[in-house]
């Protein structure tokens, strides 16, 4: 993830590369210096992965030369060093500040992107609270909405798909718990949410199987048949298809490709419309 940003960042010091000087000075000692020198020392420290030092030196650029064009860039880079140090909350705060101060700046799309991936980097295991996952989704969607043709939006779309899959996984975990404890109505709500709201995720086939199981347990044969038929039509080669087929046919195996006949699911699909 970190390497994704380096090509763009390496371009920043080129305009002042000829003014670069030694970075051996103690960054904790106040020394008034030309903005070009301060900025390039900060860039040198960042590229050398001395992120704490780089952050302090970027802050020094803004403090000593608050009205220069490099101070604006330094604000962004200071926040980026927080991201590189896994200080995601500080990175988000810094990006929000940059966005508020420079809403029309050419680097503002990058600020939105760093903010989004700072949330994304904190997505927790599905067994934990998913509030940060929701914030990541919101921030990634904001990047796509504001800058749909940018390279940031292209990467954000990929991360949105992964985030949606993660959120669906959380719904599945809760649904399985309700299923194990025979709280069938609550379980159905969770699995239906996966089918309805997360249709492109990897969890839909299992959700359809679990719905089949629950409907059979409740004696709702028509509903079970409908869920199983959708599963068989859309995921015919999956293990979930095989399990649902066995449930609906008393343990028989599904028909494999090349065998004669349409099979049970094939006949049912033709009679089922507008499912879910």
pLDDT of residue 173: 95
Reported as a pLDDT band with limits 50, 70 and 90, residue 127 is confident
Torsion of CA 240, 246, 249, 255, to 10 degrees: 80
What pTM was estimated for this model as a whole?
0.77
Please write the tens of the pLDDT for every residue from 154-206. 999 999 999 999 999 999 999 999 999 999 999 999 999 999 999 999 999 99
Q: Where are the domains of the chain?
A: 1-22+30-107, 205-276
Classified by CATH at the fold level, domain 1-22+30-107 comes out as 1.25.40
Residue 30 has pLDDT above 70, yes or no: no
Residue 221, token pair as written in the block: 């044969």
Please write the tens of the pLDDT for every residue from 205-263. 999 999 999 999 999 999 999 999 999 999 998 999 999 989 988 766 555 444 434 44
pLDDT of residue 35: 84
Q: Which of 117, 38, 107 is nearest to 82 (CA)?
A: 117
Contact in structure between 64 and 83 (CB atoms under 8 Å): no
Residue 40 to residue 154: CA distance in whole angstroms: 30
pLDDT of residue 28: 57
Residue 27 has pLDDT above 80, yes or no: no
Count other C-beta atoms under 10 Å from residue 204's C-beta: 23
Q: Which of 34, 83, 27 is nearest to 59 (CA)?
A: 27
pLDDT of residue 250: 77
pLDDT of residue 254: 57
Contact in structure between 54 and 43 (CB atoms under 8 Å): yes
Mean pLDDT of 88-95: 96
Residue 209: enclosing H or E segment and its boundaries? helix 204-217
pLDDT of residue 276: 36
Please name the residue that has the structure tokens 């087929």.
245
């Amino acid at each position: 993830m970190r390497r994704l940003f380096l090509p763009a960042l390496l371009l920043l010091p080129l305009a002042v590369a000829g003014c670069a000087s030694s970075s051996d000075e103690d960054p904790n000692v106040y020394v008034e210096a030309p903005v070009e020198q301060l900025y390039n020392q900060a860039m040198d420290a960042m590229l050398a992965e001395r992120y704490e030092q780089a952050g302090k030196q970027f802050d020094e650029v803004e403090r000593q030369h608050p009205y220069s064009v490099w101070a604006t860039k330094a604000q962004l880079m200071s926040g980026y060093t927080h991201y590189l140090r896994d200080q995601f909350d500080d990175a988000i705060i810094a990006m929000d500040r940059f966005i508020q101060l420079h809403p029309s700046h050419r680097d503002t799309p990058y600020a939105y992107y760093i903010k989004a991936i700072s949330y994304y980097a904190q997505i927790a295991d599905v067994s934990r609270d998913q509030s940060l996952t929701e914030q990541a989704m919101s921030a990634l969607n904001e990047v796509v909405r504001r800058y749909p043709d940018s390279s940031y939006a292209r990467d954000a779309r990929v991360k949105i798909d992964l985030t949606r899959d993660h959120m669906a996984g959380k719904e599945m975990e809760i649904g399985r718990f309700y299923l194990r404890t025979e709280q069938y109505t609550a379980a159905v709500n969770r699995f239906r949410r996966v089918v309805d709201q997360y249709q492109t995720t990897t969890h839909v086939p299992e959700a359809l199987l679990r719905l089949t199981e629950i409907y059979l347990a409740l004696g709702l044969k028509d509903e079970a048949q409908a869920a199983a038929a959708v599963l068989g039509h859309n995921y015919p080669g999956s293990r979930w298809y095989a399990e649902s087929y066995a449930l609906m046919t008393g343990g028989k195996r599904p028909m494999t490709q090349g065998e004669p006949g349409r099979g049970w699911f094939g006949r049912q699909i033709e009679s089922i419309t507008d499912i879910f």
